[in-house]
Structure 1
């Protein structure tokens, strides 16, 4: 099927899925207001088969060491699927299913499936990674770029993490956990009860990002956008907290963005 952009509608919400540009959500409009930063690199892209940075681009799988391209020197960042073209498996007015086959430089054969489901007051993203033959470590996450400013009002961030991963000079977790610190952030936080972060543009919109996963990266160091990134493990997690994809058990995760207006 075509990899042209797909527009989903539900009530006064409209989401644009871009299979040909890394399977990202290229836009999300609510009541005519665009919530995602626009541009080829922005929107919301899937982070798979890993999230955030891998130290020096290297990860261990048993006795084997694998080297990924250093696309954020000295590290590898955000997986490979955001750079590829996805295929459309199914589409409806308010839902699209797209797939991506893992290829080199990723060393394992596998398939990623992403379901994008739009409702009048929410968007749910569900992703799974299946192996074609052998087991391998992987991560799933999403990297939305929410517009910091809507109609002249800046977003406020509200969340209550249990801890913050201490960040080293190389932008990777050191392995130490600290009490959450004030922003600005490019940091990973632990939320054992599940990710739950609220962005509020006072008087305009409240948007809540939730997931059953317990890891979230919050990035708000840019003037244009705020990123709230639910993921199945911390940065460098292929080395420190690997999740295995096996022939019997795919890796699955989901996140929901729900919104309400005053």
Structure 2
């Protein structure tokens, strides 16, 4: 099938999936409200096969040190799949299945599958990483750019993490866990019971970001948008908390965003 944009609908909700632009969700509208910042680098993109920054772009793969391109010098950031063209495998009125092959500069062949399912009151994203051959470390995450303002008051964030990963001067976790600090943030938090973050645009919409994963990065240092990023491990996690993809054991993760009008 082609990789043209896909529009999903359910009730007053509409989502646009852009396989050709890194498999991202380019738009999420609830009635007249567009929730995602617009632009080819925004929307909500998949972070795979790693999330956030890798220190100096290097990670240990078995006994081999691998070097990824430094697309956020001095680090490598947010994986390779957001820069690739995905293919459409299957589409219905409210669900799309898209796939991406892992190729150079990633050293191992593999396939990423993302399923986007829209309901009247929620959006569910699931992703899996499979290998045909070698085992390798990987991560899965999502990077949504939610509008800070939908035409009324600024969004309010509510979440109760168990800890915050202390951030070093290089923007990477130091390995120390600290009590959660006030924002603004470009920080990773631990939520062992699963990610649970509520965004409230007063008088308009409440949206809950949930995931079984226990890591979330919150980024709110830009005036236009707030990012709430569920992921399978912390930044630099290929080095500090690797999850191994094997031929028998793919890496799988999901997140659901549920909303209600206020």
TM-score (norm 1): 1.00
Map residues 138-177 of structure 1 onto 2, 5 A cutoff.
Answer: 138-177=138-177
Task: Give CA deviations for 1:116-163 in whole Å, capped at 9, x if unaligned.
Answer: 000000000000000010100000000000000012221000000000
Moved over 4 A (4+): none
Task: Give CA deviations for 1:70-118 in whole Å, capped at 9, x if unaligned.
Answer: 0000000000000000000000000000000000000000000000000
Q: 1 CA distance for matches of 2:257 and 2:145? A: 13
Partner residue of 1:257? 257
SS at match of 2:20: helix
Q: 1 CA distance for matches of 2:121 and 2:27? A: 15
Q: 2 CA distance for matches of 1:155 and 1:203? A: 10
Q: 2 CA distance for matches of 1:168 and 1:244? A: 26
Q: 2 CA distance for matches of 1:209 and 1:32? A: 21
Residue 61 (structure 1) shift: 1.3
SS at match of 1:189: strand
Report the RMSD for the aligned CA atoms in angstroms: 0.4
Q: 1 CA distance for matches of 2:47 and 2:62? A: 23
**Structure 1: runs of 5 or more not aligned:** none
Residue 59 (structure 1) shift: 0.2
Q: 2 CA distance for matches of 1:150 and 1:32? A: 10
Q: 1 CA distance for matches of 2:89 and 2:61? A: 31
Partner residue of 1:195? 195
Pairing 1:101–2:98 present:
no
Partner residue of 1:50? 50
Contact 2:152 2:202 in 1 (8 A): no
Q: 1 CA distance for matches of 2:145 and 2:58? A: 27
Q: 2 CA distance for matches of 1:209 and 1:38? A: 20
Q: 2 CA distance for matches of 1:226 and 1:133? A: 38
TM-score (norm 2): 1.00
Residue 62 (structure 1) shift: 1.8
Contact 2:152 2:201 in 1 (8 A): no
**Structure 2: runs of 5 or more not aligned:** none
